[in-house]
A and B are shown apart, each in its own frame.
Chain A
Amino acid sequence: MTYLFTHLADVATLAGQHLALVVTALAIALAIALPLGIFSAQNERLGTATLGILGAIYAIPSLALLVLFVPILGLGFWTAVVALVAYAQMLLVRNIAVGLRSVPAAQIEAAKGMGMTRLQRLVRVELPYALPIIVGGLRIATISLIAIATVAAFVNAGGLGTLIFAGIHQDDPQRIIAGSIGSAALAIVADLAFRGFERRLAG
């Protein structure tokens, strides 16, 4: 672990870039996934089709996706973010849809009968009920993105992938270890933070 200790500041900087990529991508992904998830929950057939498309995108190898984006978006932070947003969609949309579909019929009936509008019902009854499931999806998406974000290195967007790939190309295990530990640390912290939040929601 010598590289990690001698270059702690550098690794920390890269970890910071990595985190910035993931957090930005998550925020945007969630903003897109919420309407998509709500739509998928309401409409069974279109919902399945939507998830199919998102799943196909998820299966595209990350490098290929980036190659497609560079001519349009160029290099750097936002190109990597767009790729991460695309990957996060499938996980998030599916969890949001599942969460919303799990709301007990009695609560929906009561909400309708009391005179809530569709939007009020969504915001006051359905989303609060689905929140634990949605947060669970966010947790999984975050950890996925932390792993996938290593490819940001390919488009000069920084992050821990820079270190990991440098280690691979130079046959330098120290760099690989340093990058991997940084990545794993981010993932563990994210997991613990989310689980803590989920517990507070449930309890």
Chain B
Amino acid sequence: MDEPAIAMAGVGVRYPGSRTAAVHDIDLRIPAGELTVFLGPSGCGKSTLLRTINRLIEPTAGTIHVDGTEIHALDAVQLRRRIGYVIQAVGLFPHLSIAENIAVVPELLGWEKPRIAARIDELLALVRLDPARYRSRLPSELSGGEQQRVGVARALAAEPTIILMDEPFGAVDAIVRGSLQDEIARLHHTLGTTIVFVTHDVDEALKLADRIVVMDNGTIVQADTPLAILTQPASPFVAQLLDTADTVRRLGLIGVAGVIRAANVAQSAITIDASATLREALSALLTATDRVDVVRDGTRIGSVGFDDVRGALAAA
């Protein structure tokens, strides 16, 4: 899969009558199957850039290729039906049931009714809403978090290869936001869809992204994996935005698996799972133990100590 899902070359957006461009000189390749986050302060152009992909905003400079096709080669309406779109305010249609809301794009594409019905149940289960209970409800009967789950299901309905998400969890409280982020991470892992995700929340970006595109004043300042950005910020702006001095945060991006001293089982009182990050390891180590054992499927497979943690940081 050499073909990037999305390729932008020299993309810019300037509104008529405006002296500055909202977005300029964007060169970007988004690999298929990755979750890319556009991160930046308010007004940096991240939302604008996202919306050039499905032509809700027309670029005034440069080209954009989606799955190899230039976006102007397709009718805008056809393009949008192939790309999922999730927005902060969700925008569910109040006069339609949950099922009917989800069914919109499949119906536009002419799917047969049985296929649509099956797909609705599948999607509701996927976003962990019981189809029997939720299918016939109206949006007004759902909480904010539930509505956004439906929003995600709706975006996935027609099996798009790309989904665009514009600050989708900004309007829900912190607890719900956390679980929704976990959902997206899980969905991404399960479906392998290319996701482009806009946020100003640094923690959210670090939690979800395979790759972060940091933007400021309409252009890209750095585009790389979260760990690379944290260890080698391209400018003071990036360093400050991501608080790269906070090494503990960085630890959350490194898993224990690569750091275990294998044969060295310490029979520690506290254990951590093999899927944990170094941050959890550090947390365990700080509760007064020198080494902490790592467990996989019930067996202790090795241990991790302070030196290993420090060593991993240095190597990253």
On whether the beta carbons of B54 and A113 are closer than 8 Å, the reply is yes
Q: Looking at the complex, which of A15-23, A91-99, A122-130, A152-160 is the stretch in contact with chain B?
A: A122-130
**Which A residue sits closest to B108, measured CB to CB?**
A115
Do A129 and B94 form a contact, CB below 8 Å, given A114-B104, A115-B78, A115-B108?
Answer: yes
Q: Is the interface of A mostly helix, strand, loop or mixed?
A: helix
On whether the beta carbons of B85 and A113 are closer than 8 Å, the reply is yes
On whether the beta carbons of A114 and B94 are closer than 8 Å, the reply is no
**Which B residue sits closest to A107, measured CB to CB?**
B91
On whether the beta carbons of B91 and A110 are closer than 8 Å, the reply is yes
On whether the beta carbons of A116 and B77 are closer than 8 Å, the reply is yes
- In the assembled complex, 12 residue pairs joining A and B whose CB atoms fall closer than 8 Å, in A order, are A104-B89, A105-B89, A110-B90, A111-B91, A111-B93, A113-B87, A114-B81, A114-B105, A114-B108, A115-B77, A115-B78, A115-B80
> Which B residues are closer than 8 A to A by beta carbons?
54, 56, 77-82, 85, 87, 89-95, 104-105, 108, 154, 164
Interface residue? A195 (CB, 8 A): no
Do A112 and B56 form a contact, CB below 8 Å, given A107-B93, A129-B94?
Answer: yes
Docked Cα-Cα span, A153 to B104, in Å, equals 51
> Which A residues are closer than 8 A to B by beta carbons?
104-117, 120, 124-125, 128-129
**Which A residue sits closest to B101, measured CB to CB?**
A110
Q: Please, which residues of chain A bring their CB within 8 A of the CB of B89? A: 104-106, 109
Number of A-B residue pairs with CB-CB distance less than 8 Å in the complex they form: 60
**Which A residue sits closest to B90, measured CB to CB?**
A106
Which of B90, B92, B94, B108 meets A116, CB within 8 Å? B108
**Which B residue sits closest to A113, measured CB to CB?**
B85
Q: Please, which residues of chain B bring their CB within 8 A of the CB of A128? A: 93, 95
On whether the beta carbons of A106 and B91 are closer than 8 Å, the reply is yes
On whether the beta carbons of B108 and A106 are closer than 8 Å, the reply is no
On whether the beta carbons of B80 and A106 are closer than 8 Å, the reply is no
Q: Please, which residues of chain B bring their CB within 8 A of the CB of A106? A: 87, 89-91
**Which A residue sits closest to B54, measured CB to CB?**
A113
**Top 10 A-B pairs, shortest CB-CB distance:** A110-B91, A115-B81, A115-B80, A113-B85, A106-B89, A106-B91, A128-B95, A107-B91, A115-B77, A114-B105
Q: Please, which residues of chain A bring their CB within 8 A of the CB of B92? A: 107, 110
Q: Please, which residues of chain A bring their CB within 8 A of the CB of B93? A: 107, 110-111, 124-125, 128-129
**Which A residue sits closest to B78, measured CB to CB?**
A115
**Which A residue sits closest to B91, measured CB to CB?**
A110
Q: Please, which residues of chain B bring their CB within 8 A of the CB of A117? A: 77
Docked Cα-Cα span, A104 to B91, in Å, equals 8
On whether the beta carbons of A115 and B91 are closer than 8 Å, the reply is no
Q: Separation in Å of the A114 CB from the closest CB of chain B?
A: 5
Q: Please, which residues of chain B bring their CB within 8 A of the CB of A108? A: 91
User: Which of A107, A113, A120 has the most chain B CB atoms closer than 10 A to its own CB?
Assistant: A113
On whether the beta carbons of B80 and A114 are closer than 8 Å, the reply is yes
User: Which of A104, A115, A116 has the most chain B CB atoms closer than 10 A to its own CB?
Assistant: A115
**Which A residue sits closest to B79, measured CB to CB?**
A115
